[in-house]
Amino acid sequence: MSGRHRQAGFTYLALLFTVAIASMVLAATGTLWSVEAQREREVELLFVGNQFRQAIRSYYEQSPGMQKRYPMSLDELVTDNRYLGVKRHLRQIYMDPITGRSEWGMLMAPEGGIMGVHSLSDQKTIKRSHFLLRDATLEGKNMYSEWHFVYRP
């Protein structure tokens, strides 16, 4: 075998080795990006969940008359018709950052109405500890559907 044929084989093997290493690096980078994207969605879920919690609190606390009540639908948080003018406790019904849909799980109050929301995703969480005090009930929860954003007077 001549030196030229041996060199061509070596170049081919070097090229295959380079492609294999590049593939492994890209796969690792893709995994890191995926985890980082999930962490960003978690932060957004915490923000949106607390927006719902604050809107439910506002709706409940600003109930006209002596009888306080929770909203019967999320739409009542956007357009509260209990007053002469329209009152908005929430600008819009936010999308669930985990599922990408505007559907939310509802947590119903014993006396009726919605006292909280949660994601409908059964995906596992990354964050399981070190929450802010307002989100202390989320400690140790393994799925996003267990992250309940509830207002209790």
| Per-residue burial over 134-151, b = 16 or more CB atoms within 10 Å of its CB, e = otherwise | ebeebeebeebbebbbbb
Domain with 72, as residue range(s), is 3-150
Q: What is the pTM of this model?
A: 0.78
How high is the pLDDT of residue 105? Answer: 96
How high is the pLDDT of residue 85? Answer: 85
CB within 8 A of 29, min separation 6: which ones? none
3-class DSSP state of 87:
strand
Q: Report the domain count for the chain.
A: 1
Q: Which amino acid is at 34?
A: S
What is the rounded distance in angstroms from the CA atom of residue 16 to the CA atom of residue 44?
42
Please give the average pLDDT of every successive group of 10 residues along the chain, which has 153 residues: 60 77 74 82 96 96 89 94 88 95 95 96 93 93 96 92
How high is the pLDDT of residue 88? Answer: 92
CB within 8 A of 101, min separation 6: which ones? 95, 120
Q: Which amino acid is at 4?
A: R
